[in-house]
Structure 1
Amino acid sequence: MHQLHSYLNAYASNPVTDEDFEIIKSHFTNKTLRKRQYFLEEGEICKHFAYIIKGAMRKYHVDDQGKEHVVDLYIENWWAGDLESFVMLKPSIYYVDACEDCELMLITNESKIKLCSQLPSFNQFLLKLDERNHIATQRRITSTISSSAKVRYDDFASCYPEFLQRFPQHIIASYLGITKETLSRVRSQVS
């Protein structure tokens, strides 16, 4: 729980007081996932968003040919889930599963809405988080459609060096939109 409090304070405009954090904490539930266990499966509605205390997760889509396309990677102090399904109550087109054993803190959309109206600091935190996620998504889309595999890998390695140790090469390759063979070739150029 202390980890979440520190995380909130790192992004909130005003520090989250101990009293406010007790209110925030009361809206979360704890969950553990084993490696390879699903947090969300395609067709389900994402009823919770997960703050990762410990572990690593991925979000991916499976196309008509059965090929996995990794959309997001998550580690400690990241949020995992399908935002569209969570907010719009639509069945998800994604799978979210654990790449390592995970300890999570879950929040429902209803609790998120209550916290935003109850605590301006929590609302400001979510606005900042949304801004940062939007910027990161724009950069990723631009990189995917206009950068070489080497540039994409170099950007990924420089922004998320810890991911290189936490996720297998085939997952990183899928996230970057390249084959495992291309990733191996690019990595050998770096070494």
Structure 2
Amino acid sequence: MNFDHILQNVRQHIPLSQEEADLFTSLLDARVFKKKSFLLHSGDVCLCETFVVKGCVKIFYTDAAGVEHIVKFAVENWWTMDLESFAQQTPAFYTIQALEDTETLQLSKTNHDVLYERVPQFEKFSRLQFQNAYILLQHRLTQNLYLSAEEKYNRFTEKYPGLELRIPQKEIASYLGITPEFLSMLRKRRMKPAIS
């Protein structure tokens, strides 16, 4: 397994010696999830944080009426988990599912705690991860409250460039909180050349 991407991701936030990098990578588990398989089910405890090496997963919840609401996608070089479940080791609210065959590196809660103990600057890395997750959540809430469907779609294409070509339209519609038919209309409108 090539650890270049995950080490580059971590080193954007904290310095790591070669010895520390070797310890970190030794604590990771490489796992491949087939398309439509689950990384986490709602109600289970989130036992690891996951780094996406290749592929895409969706993080969602299902409401009482059985409707799925996607809150986030995680693509290459993104971390994902049910944050509250992982931090407190309580049942997860969210479900995480692969939308493509997905290669991951996972750090278990046990190994996460070992890492904190042996490489203290990983506490800073985790703090920055949690901070960024909170900022993303704030942005997502604000966008849902104030942006039009078209503006939300534009933000989606900026945040996840090229993803609309990789995953089903119904997944994107769920993320945006609109119907697939309305999304199709937005996409057609966007592709229509401007008349000069």
Question: Normalization by structure 1: what TM-score?
Answer: 0.92
- Residues of 2 paired with 1:60 and 1:9: CA distance? 29
Following superposition of structure 1 onto structure 2, how do residues 1-191 of structure 1 map, counting pairs within 5 Å?
Answer: 1-12=3-14, 15-191=15-191
- The count of aligned residue pairs is 189
Please state how far the C-alpha of 1:44 moved relative to its aligned partner. 1.0
Please provide the CA RMSD for this pair. 1.5
- Mapped partners of 1:48, 1:41: distance in 2: 13
2:90 maps to a residue whose letter is: K
Q: Percent identity?
A: 31
Segment of structure 1 superposing worse, 115-124 or 25-34: 115-124
Rounded to whole Å, the distance in 2 between the matches of 1:185 and 1:44 is: 38
Contact 1:60/1:95 (CA < 8 Å) preserved in 2? yes
Per-residue displacement from partner, 1:66-121 (whole Å, max 9, x unpaired)? 11111110111111221111112221222211111111111122322331232233
Does the 8 A contact of 1:116 with 1:122 survive in 2?
yes
Give the conservation status (yes or no) of the 8 Å contact 1:11–1:129.
no
Structure 1 stretches of 4+ moved >3 Å = none
Q: SS where residue 117 of structure 1 aligns?
A: helix
Q: Which runs of no fewer than 5 residues in structure 1 stay unpaired?
A: none
After the TM superposition, which of the residue ranges 91-100 and 106-115 deviates more from structure 2? 106-115
Distance 2:190 2:135 in 1: 27
Once the two structures are superposed, residues 11-58 of structure 1 have per-residue CA deviations (whole angstroms, 9 ceiling, x without a partner) of 32xx32211101111221111111111111122111111111111111
List alignment gaps of at least 5 residues for structure 2. Answer: 192-196
Contact 1:55 1:101 (8 Å CA) reproduced: yes
TM-score by length of 2: 0.90
CA distance in 2, matches of 1:143, 1:124: 28
CA contact (8 A) 1:117 1:123 kept: no
| Letter in structure 2 aligned against 1:52 | V
What is the CA–CA distance in structure 2 between the aligned matches of 1:54 and 1:151, rounded to whole Å?
28
Q: Using the alignment, how far apart are the partners of 1:149 and 1:27 within structure 2?
A: 42
Report if aligned partners of 1:28, 1:106 keep a CA contact under 8 Å in 2: yes
Structure 1: how far apart are the matches of 2:52 and 2:158? 22
Q: Alignment partner of 1:161: what SS?
A: coil
